[in-house]
Structures are given as C-alpha cells and as structure tokens.
Amino acid sequence: MENLVICGGRRLSGEIDIQGAKNSALPILAATVLIKGESVIHNCPDLSDIDAAIKILRHLGCKVKKEKNTLTVDSREISCYNIPDALMREMRSSIVFLGSVLGRTGMAVMSSPGGCDIGLRPIDLHLSSLRTLGVRVEECHGTLICKREKQLAGGVVSLSFPSVGATENIMLACALSRGRTVILNAAREPEIKDLADFLNSCGCNVEIGSHGTVVISGVKELHGCEHSVIPDRIASLTFMSAVASSGGDVTLNKTDSSSFMSVIPIFEQMGCEIANRSNRLRIRMNKRPKSVMDIRTMPYPGFPTDAQAPVTAALSVAQGTSVLVENIFENRFKHIPELQRMGARIKIEGKVAIIDGTDRLYGARVFSPDLRGGAALVVAGLCAQGETVVEQICHIDRGYECIEKSFSQLGADIKRIIV
C-alpha cells in the first residue's frame, strides 16, 4: 500500500505540463476495437485506468504497445466479444467498451458495472438507446448480453440527460453501421468532440452540432490513424485549485483553457490573477482566497462535477462562506468528512455544501475516498499547517500521472511512501 505524505504551507511556483485527458483517452482506446488496423494514440496519460483499458484490449485480442505516452493498438484480429467480470471491475468506465465491441463483433457480453465510490451509476440510458437502435439487450444475473442481428441501420435517439458515457457508447456502436444516427441532447463535453475527431480520422463521419446534437453517418470499415489526446481539463483545474489555496505563481503548459472557460471566473472571484495565452495558462495568487457564492455542477459547458472536490478544498480556506451544489452525482461529498478532520468547516444539506472558510487547515491522516476526492485532500494537505498523510491513493493514481512529482516540481513538500 502507498500513502502520500505532505508537509503543507509552501507557495507553489514554476511550470508544469498538463497530462492528456483520461476521459478522452479511455473512449478513444475503446474505439480502437472498431478499427481493422493500427491506431497510434499520443498524449495518452500514464494511469492505472489506462492500464486497465490496455488489459481489456489485450483480452479482446488487440496487440498493444506502450512507449511513454504513446500507445499503439493493432486491432486487426479481435478474438472475443466478452469481457470478464474481473476486468470490468477494475474500472467503472469499462462500460464504454460495450459500444465498440458490439459495433465490431455484433455481440457484447460483460458484467453490469453496478454502484461505485461516487454513488449509483446506472446505465439505463446506454441500454435504452441501444434498444432504440435495434440492439437486443438482455440483463441476466448481473451480466449484460447485447446483440445485433445485422449492421445497425441508424435512427434517432433522444437522451433524457446528456450522459457522457451513453453518448460515447452510441457513437461507438454506430460508427460501423449502414445508416445515419442522430443523438439529441447528447453530452457536449470536449471529450466527446475528441472521440468524434478520432473516429473521423479513421474514416467515419461524425458531426457535432451546436445544441447537443451528434450525427453519426456510419461506414463499412474504419482504418487506423494517429491521434493526440486533448489536455486534461480536470488536471488543470486541480493545479489551479492548489495555487488558489496555497498561493503562488504557476504556469500550466500544454493546457487548453477553452475547455474550462466557465470555471475561470470562479478562480478570478477567489482573487486569482489569470493570464491565458494559447495553450499556456498562468495563475497567480498572493492572498487568502475569497469565498464564491453559488457554484453549481452542471453538464458541459457548466461547472464540471469532477472539479467540485478540489475547488471545495480550496474554498475551505476562503474568507467568507461559499455555497456549492452537486447536481450530477448523488454521493460526491465523501471527501468532506476528511476535509473536516483537517479543520474545514463544511455543512452538507442534501446536494448542497455550505463552506464556512477557515483561515487555516491542519495536517491530519486522511483517507482518499475516490479519485477527485483524493485530489481534494492533496490540495488541502498542500495548504495545511503540518503533516498530512493521504491513504488509499490508488484512487488518485487512476486519474493523475504521478501527482507527487507534479507538485514537487512546483516546490511542494510531498512524497510517496510504501507502507
């Protein structure tokens, strides 16, 4: 088991390169299953979730080569359509393989993902959309069996909520099809556009409309391509949260601030100075942050739920009271009791967190409850007085490339220890 040990209270300064987006890389890796050829994916973050995706690809018969941040996937031969339970359980997002395995082989058998650390994560929208498109879906004792008799012919799917995963699964299931599929109320996250760009580079025709419409004109066969994954907007927002609460002067390189425009004003309200130039963003903070009233997590382009926990950590040392509403997931406040152990004054009322800023957090032994909750504890530990030990950091490793290395590079006192 590994822990992070942080001696808080240092200002952060310097430059850092932002990793590729986990939430783009995973569906793109799933998409490689559709391709009768070789895909070269650059800027793929080195994360345990990516390793879990590689295991699934190899199980399906793909040959995968990993060289630093470039993955080469040869999917000429696919040998099966089932994903064993153990591989599905390694990563909740493995459900995104449903669309691609089905699209490539006509059949997909895998376990239902069930609940997870941030609450129940149903896949009813994924399944009802596939049914609408003519896929036979059976659920039997926790196993999903999806089958299409012939190539899908397209159709119109209207999502009752713009689910990211459901949008991706429909795109993947329909990339190899005979017809035109229209998704209404599709997710608009930048990772959806990245998946569309990848599929288009492979010969598909996916158009992203302006009001949450995605149109997929399926093709008979897709060819390999080279693609570079977009920068991780949540990693950028995590580093920005750390600067907001610890103070400092940090430049994020290889980022794309256009993918988190709606969040920049929140950091400005906290008192951060932000200078934004093409793919670089400089954030400076020289004082205690100010509170922000009314932050609501929403589907893109609204405030991302994945940034809620790190921003909560930053606001816990703000001057004044902040109010944050979590609208996307039902159980995404598990980091709050841990922040309270560090002295944060936060009350939870249903999906609302009321953060009464304190001028100081204190180091404590805390437990990383999930990926972004773990990142929040690192943000808190960096600005806290004394030593913080973050346990269960396997969650953090799912989404951040060596988080301790990144923060050490910025002058923080943080190390990983094996216990």
Q: Does 26 bind ligand UD1 (CB under 6 A)?
A: yes
Alpha carbon distance 247, 283 (integer Å): 9
On the 0-12 / 13-18 / 19+ scale of CB atoms within 10 A, 220 is: exposed
CA distance linking residue 201 with residue 38, whole number of Å: 12
Considering 116, 202, 394, 402, which one is annotated as catalytic? 116
Distance in angstroms (rounded) separating the CA atoms of residues 385 and 342: 9
**Binding footprint of ligand UD1, residue count (CB under 6 A):** 20
Furthest-apart CA atoms within the chain: distance in Å: 63
Indicate the residue among 38 and 370 with the shorter CB distance to ligand UD1: 370
- Is 164 a binder of ligand UD1 (CB under 6 A)? yes
* Nearest to ligand UD1 of 306, 338 (CB atom): 306
From candidates 161, 207, 286, 293, binder to ligand UD1 by CB under 6 A: 161
How many whole angstroms separate alpha carbon 415 and alpha carbon 231?
Answer: 25
| Among 8, 20, 103, 165, interactor with ligand UD1 by CB under 6 A | 165
Q: Which residue in the set 3, 19, 23, 308 belongs to the binding site for ligand UD1 (CB under 6 A)? A: 23
21: contact with ligand UD1 by CB under 6 A: no
Query: Which CB atom, from 3 or from 32, has the smaller least distance to ligand UD1?
Result: 32
User: Can 80 be counted among the known catalytic residues?
Assistant: no
Which one, of 392, 416, 419, 388, lies nearest residue 402 by Cα? 416
Displacement of CA 69 from its chain's centroid (Å) = 17
Range 179-198, binding ligand UD1 (CB under 6 A): 187, 191
Note every long-range contact of 254-259, with CB atoms under 8 Å and residues 24 or more positions apart, other chains counting: 254/17, 254/18, 254/279, 255/18, 255/231, 255/279, 255/280, 255/281, 256/190, 256/230, 256/231, 257/281, 259/190, 259/230, 259/231, 259/233
Q: How far is CA 36 from the centre of its chain?
A: 27
What 3 state SS string does 163-187 have?
CHHHHHHHHHHHHCCCCEEEEECCC
Give whichever of 70 and 128 is closer to ligand UD1, judged by the CB atom: 128
- Least distance in angstroms from the C-beta of 28 to ligand UD1: 11
Residue 46 exposed, middle or buried by CB count within 10 Å (0-12, 13-18, 19+): middle
Q: Given candidates 255, 305, 316, 388, which one binds ligand UD1 under the rule CB under 6 A?
A: 305
Nearest approach, Cβ of residue 121 and ligand UD1 (Å)? 5
Least Å from the CB of residue 137 to ligand UD1:
12
| Span from 71-79, 164-172, 197-205, 246-254 in contact with ligand UD1 (CB under 6 A) | 164-172
What residues contact 377, with CB distance under 8 A and at least 6 apart?
313, 335, 338, 339, 366, 368, 388, 390
Sole binder of ligand UD1 in the list 329, 333, 400, 407 (CB under 6 A) = 329
125 binds ligand UD1 (CB under 6 A): yes
Using the rule CB under 6 A, is 334 a contact of ligand UD1?
no
Contact flag: residue 317 with ligand UD1 (CB under 6 A): no
Q: Does 94 bind ligand UD1 (CB under 6 A)?
A: no
- Angle in degrees, CA 315, 240, 118, rounded to 5: 65
Shortest separation between residue 187's beta carbon and ligand UD1, angstroms:
6
Smallest separation, CB 419 to ligand UD1 (Å) = 28
For the segment 266-295, give every residue that binds ligand UD1 (CB under 6 A): none
Nearest distance from residue 166's CB to ligand UD1, in Å? 5
Q: Is 259 in the site for ligand UD1 (CB under 6 A)?
A: no
Candidates 116-124, 196-204, 254-262, 318-326: pick the segment binding ligand UD1 (CB under 6 A): 116-124
Residues 47-86: x where in contact with ligand UD1 by CB under 6 A, - otherwise, as a string: ----------------------------------------
Residue partners of 258: CB distance under 8 A and separation at least 6: none
Q: In the Cβ-directed half-sphere of 343, how many Cα atoms lie within 13 Å? A: 18
* Residues 394/419, Cβ–Cβ less than 8 Å: no
Residue, CB closest to ligand UD1? 165
Nearer to ligand UD1, 55 or 126 (CB): 126
* Residue 345: count of CB within 10 angstroms of its CB: 13
Give phi and psi for 273, each to the nearest 5.
Answer: -100, 130
The site for ligand UD1 (CB under 6 A) is made up of 23, 26, 93, 121-126, 161, 163-166, 187, 191, 305-306, 328-329
Give catalytic residues, as residue numbers: 116
